Amino acid sequence: MSEEPGPEVEEEARLTGYEARLRAEQRREKFHNLVEKAIERLPPIFQEKLENVDIVVADWPTPAQLARSNIRSRFGLLGLYEGVPHTRRGHGYSMVLPDKITIFRKPIEARCRSWKEVEAEVEKVVRHEIAHHFGIDEGKLRELEEHK
């Protein structure tokens, strides 16, 4: 997969001033809506177990997030789960800060050639990060993806 920005990102870069800010804000809002829809499409049994999870959208991963994930390129990290997976929680697990799932907008958009692809990728990334919340590691996720 290419690390070069997709055509929509390039188009956004050519705009200037107010028009560019307005377009960027519209794209952010549209992207947030995709993340919300992906969560709404989860089976109710999974939605119920997301009560102490913040799901946020950021444009790019921070250098610290990249380092913790052992990823060098900011285009390489599409989503990140930070927290204690359900499978590692004991009886005394309570009164803790929420887990956090971050979906990174710009790397997803750069990877996709159309808005339809962005929709599909957001759905995939949201489900992937929620799977980490439930204790499924990268190896098992890859295995499950291959056997779809």
Domain 7-146 belongs to what topology?
A: Zincin-like (3.30.2010)
The whole-model pTM stands at 0.81
> CA 8 → CA 15, 77, 125, 128, distances in Å?
11, 19, 20, 24
Question: Is 63 buried (19+), middle (13-18) or exposed (0-12) by CB count in 10 A?
Answer: exposed
CB-based burial, 37-52: b 16+ in 10 Å, e otherwise: ebbeebeeeeeeebee
Q: What is the pLDDT of residues 80-105, one digit of tens each?
A: 999 888 777 777 777 778 889 999 99
The model's pLDDT over 99-128, given as tens digits with 9 standing for 90+, comes to 899 999 999 999 999 999 999 999 999 999
Comparison of pLDDT for 50 and 113, the residue scoring more: 113
Domain residue limits, the chain: 7-146
pLDDT confidence band for 1 (50 / 70 / 90): very low
